[in-house]
Amino acid sequence: MSDYPHRVQVEAVRWLDASPGLRLFRCLRQSLAPWRMFLALLLVVLLFLGGKAMDFVWGQQVLGREIENYTTYTSQEYDEFLERFAQRMAEGQQFDRQPIFQTLLQHELMHFDRMVSSAVGLNFGLTELLRGQSGGVIGEIESMVVVLPGWLLNTHPWFSAIFLFYAFVLTMILGGAIARLAALDACRGMHGSPFEALQFSLTRARHLIAAPLLPLAVALLIGALLALAGLVCFNLPVLDVIGGLAFGILLALGGIAALFLLALAFGCHLLTPAVAVEDADAFDAVSRSFSYLAAHPWRYILYLAVTVVYGAVGYLVVGLVLFSTIWVTKTAVGLLTFSEAAEGVNRFDAILPTPMLGQVSHEPNLAVLDTSGKVAATLVGVWVKLLVGVLAAYCVSFYFTAMTWVYLLLRYYSDGAAFDEITLDAPAAPAADVPDKVELNASAAVDAD
């Protein structure tokens, strides 16, 4: 006789309850929600216009292969490279230069495309990282968030200070609004208004901006104390002996500063969702994010890896749709355009070159166009660049949507909080009922009689 005489029939399995991490795969569909894409596109357009405006003010500044040399040369070799160019320019030689923002944007997009290819190929760059090399997803992210901003800070400090401040504030405000819409959708299935989300982020702007700055400020404060200790203890005889005896304390302070910087580098993605979900202030957002990261570091890394691969696949799909849109439009419109801008050059081909897969943005051939054609090419270029901006908007929307889900998952495993728990705006106090007022007035009239 069987040890299990009573058979159980399972009719359905709630996979989201059995494996909550599967909720991450909602990110792609939710990130394409119209209002989230609108806010993300607004962020992309404002960043682009701000960078172009600063390029107009600064003019042509970047030398040829300057960024490539910055990444491959040593510090001394790079300084010598700049000195040689400065000497040649003093002798009257002319060199082609490019605007700062335009050059930075080109290299950021190049590394982003490489990161997507590496993510799709599941090359995260862990082997290269252990060997002290740069490659894969980790290497491309390092180039985007460390190397290129480092070049900008070292070579164009005022430009970088102004633009990075502008980009940071704008990203925190509009990103906070996107995260708020993502949180409402993820927790309650509510499709909030973008104006209400913007109002939410604007009223919490100080918390959104201060959250990533708090751990950085702590690390900088400790760094200042260490520098002061070096000034006092290691510049004079006898005092350096005291400094050597107390160096263990300095190492401990340096370790604390390093922990804050590492926590910020890995946990910064959770700060905006913490404000959006919990309506937390800066201190609470930092506390929650870092505690969840410390409680489940490997789960957090796994979620990030899944998010990068899933987002990269979605990026390729959205990019294919946009490429197909431009190609079909270009082909259909060009069927009946027969006039030539120059000998052997079709007028519409000069206005909008044929797109190639992987390169959806193309520059028109202005040299062969007349004044009217140049105006038409400029207008067509604006629409094409706006369509390409939708691809960048998807990346922004997906990032904040995915990080909101990662935050909710880590909160679920750390605190046991349900996924529908979210802090909503307090409703306005209800007005007094009119019948009570009428009854009160009637009683007063009776007393007066």
Could you tell me the pTM of the whole model? 0.82
* First-residue to last-residue Cα distance in the chain: 94
Q: How far is CA 222 from CA 227, 255, 258, 326, 369, in A?
A: 9, 10, 10, 53, 60
**In-domain check, residue 37:** yes
Count of domains observed in the chain: 1
pLDDT digit string, tens, across residues 302-349: 999 899 889 888 888 888 888 888 889 888 988 888 777 777 778 888
Q: How many CB atoms lie within 10 A of CB 270?
A: 24
| Residue 8 confidence class, pLDDT cut points 50, 70, 90 | low
Render the burial of 136-158: b for 16+ CB within 10 Å, e for the rest.
Answer: bbbbbbbbbeebbeebbeebbee
Q: How far is 449 from 441, CA to CA, in rounded Å?
A: 13
Residue whose C-alpha is closest to residue 70's, from 176, 188, 133, 156: 156
Q: Is 98 helix (H, G, I), strand (E, B) or coil?
A: strand
Q: What are the φ/ψ torsions at residue 55 (nearest 5 degrees)?
A: -60, -40
Nearest 10 degrees: Cα torsion 365, 371, 373, 375: 100
pLDDT digit string, tens, across residues 256-315: 999 999 999 888 999 999 999 998 899 999 999 999 999 999 999 999 989 988 988 888
**In-domain check, residue 346:** yes
The distance from CA 42 to its chain's CA centroid, rounded to whole angstroms, is 14
**In-domain check, residue 444:** no
**In-domain check, residue 389:** yes
What token pair was written down for 374? 């140049």
What token pair was written down for 436? 């009570």
What token pair was written down for 46? 């404002």
Q: Is 115 helix (H, G, I), strand (E, B) or coil?
A: helix
Q: Which residues have C-beta within 8 Å of that of residue 231, sequence separation ≥ 6?
A: none
pLDDT at 433: 44
pLDDT digit string, tens, across residues 133-192: 677 877 888 888 888 888 888 888 899 999 999 999 999 999 999 999 999 998 888 888
Q: How far is CA 242 from CA 227, 253, 255, 363, 405, in A?
A: 15, 17, 20, 65, 51
pLDDT digit string, tens, across residues 187-239: 888 888 889 999 999 999 999 999 999 999 999 999 999 999 888 888 888 78
Contact 292, 270 (CB under 8 A): yes
Report which secondary-structure segment, H or E, holds 65: none
**In-domain check, residue 15:** no
Q: How far is 66 from 292, CA to CA, in rounded Å?
A: 41
**In-domain check, residue 3:** no
Contact 66, 155 (CB under 8 A): yes
**In-domain check, residue 34:** yes
What does pLDDT average to over the chain? Answer: 83
What token pair was written down for 42? 């607004």
Instruction: Provide the residue range defining the domain that includes 146.
Output: 25-422
Contact 195, 201 (CB under 8 A): no
What token pair was written down for 206? 């100080």
Q: How far is 294 from 281, CA to CA, in rounded Å?
A: 20
**In-domain check, residue 437:** no
Contact 384, 361 (CB under 8 A): yes
Q: In which residue are the tokens 């495309």 written? A: 113
Q: How far is 179 from 171, CA to CA, in rounded Å?
A: 11
